[in-house]
C-alpha cells in the first residue's frame, strides 16, 4: 500500500503512539501474581490512566501477563492463548518465577525461564511485584512500544521452530491446533 520508506515510518510512529496508549491486558492469571492486579486496576493505583485495562478474550487483548510460576500444564494453555491473540501482542513476565524459577526453582513441574518458551517483552521482578512495580513495568512496555522495540511477536514468528522445539520438549503430547495468524 505505502511503498515510500518515509511515509511508512510516519505510519509506524502513529501506530505505535496509538498502541502505546491502549494496552489491553488479558484477564488471565497464573501463579500467585494475579492478586496484585485488582489493586493495580482499581482506584488506588488506577492503571487505566495509562490506558491499561482488562480484556475478556485473547482476540481482544494486546498483552499477556504471565503472573508467576507456570506449571507445564498451564504452559500448554498459555501457549494456546498466546497463539490466539492478534497482532500487536506483547508478553510481560511477572515475578521472579518467570525469570529464573524463583522459589520454585527445584519444582518438578514448573518451568524456570519463560523466554525460552514465549517471547517476553518486559520482565517485572519481585516476589510479588507491588502495584508500583507493575505500573513501572507497563511504563517500560509503553516506552518500548513507542520506540518500536517491543517485537516479541515478530521474534516468535521468525523463530517459531526453535520455540516449538523447546515447548515440545516438555509437552510430549502435542495436541494443539496450528494457527496461521
Chain residues binding other proteins by CB under 8 A are: 72-73, 76, 99-101, 105-113, 116, 166, 170-173
Residue nearest to ligand SF4 (CB): 68
Interacting residue ranges for ligand SF4, rule: CB under 6 A: 31-33, 68-69, 95-97, 102-103, 127-128
**SS3 of 26, please?**
strand
For the bound state, the minimum distance from the C-beta of residue 110 to other proteins, rounded and expressed in Å, comes to: 8
- Least distance to ligand SF4, CB of residue 66, Å: 9
Instruction: Choose from other proteins, ligand SF4, none: what does 153 bind? Cβ within 5-8 Å by kind.
Output: none
| CA-CA-CA-CA torsion sign (15, 20, 23, 29) | positive
Rounded to the nearest 10 degrees, the angle between the axes of helix 5-20 and helix 131-147 is: 170
Q: Which does 68 bind (CB under 5 to 8 A by kind): ligand SF4, other proteins, none?
A: ligand SF4
What single DSSP character describes residue 176?
P
Q: Radius of gyration of the chain from Cα atoms? A: 16
Query: Whats the size of the chain, residue-wise?
Result: 181
End-to-end CA distance of the chain: 20
Q: Residue 148, SS3?
A: coil
Which partner, other proteins, ligand SF4, none, binds residue 27 by CB below 5 to 8 Å per kind?
A: none
Q: Which is nearer to ligand SF4, 33 or 137 (CB)?
A: 33
> Residue 25: phi, psi to the nearest 5?
-100, 130
Residue 20 or 30: the one with the smaller Cβ distance to other proteins is: 30
- For ligand SF4, the closer of residues 29 and 88 by Cβ is 29
Amino acid at each position: 500500500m505505502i511503498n515510500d520508506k518515509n511515509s511508512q515510518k510516519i505510519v509506524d510512529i502513529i501506530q505505535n503512539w496509538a498502541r502505546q496508549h491502549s494496552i489491553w491486558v488479558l484477564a488471565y492469571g497464573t501463579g500467585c501474581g494475579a492478586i496484585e492486579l485488582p489493586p493495580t486496576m482499581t482506584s488506588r493505583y488506577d492503571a487505566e490512566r495509562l490506558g491499561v485495562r482488562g480484556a475478556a478474550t485473547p482476540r481482544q487483548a494486546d498483552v499477556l501477563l504471565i503472573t508467576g510460576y507456570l506449571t507445564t500444564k498451564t504452559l500448554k494453555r498459555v501457549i494456546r492463548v498466546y497463539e490466539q491473540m492478534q497482532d500487536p501482542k506483547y508478553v510481560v513476565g511477572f515475578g521472579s518465577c518467570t525469570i529464573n524459577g524463583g522459589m520454585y526453582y527445584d519444582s518438578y513441574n514448573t518451568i524456570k525461564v519463560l523466554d525460552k518458551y514465549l517471547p517476553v517483552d518486559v520482565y517485572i521482578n519481585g516476589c510479588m511485584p507491588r502495584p508500583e512495580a507493575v505500573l513501572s513495568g507497563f511504563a517500560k512496555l509503553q516506552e518500548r512500544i513507542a520506540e518500536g522495540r517491543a517485537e516479541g511477536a515478530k521474534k516468535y514468528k521468525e523463530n517459531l521452530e526453535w520455540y516449538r522445539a523447546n515447548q515440545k520438549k516438555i509437552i510430549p503430547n502435542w495436541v494443539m491446533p496450528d494457527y496461521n495468524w
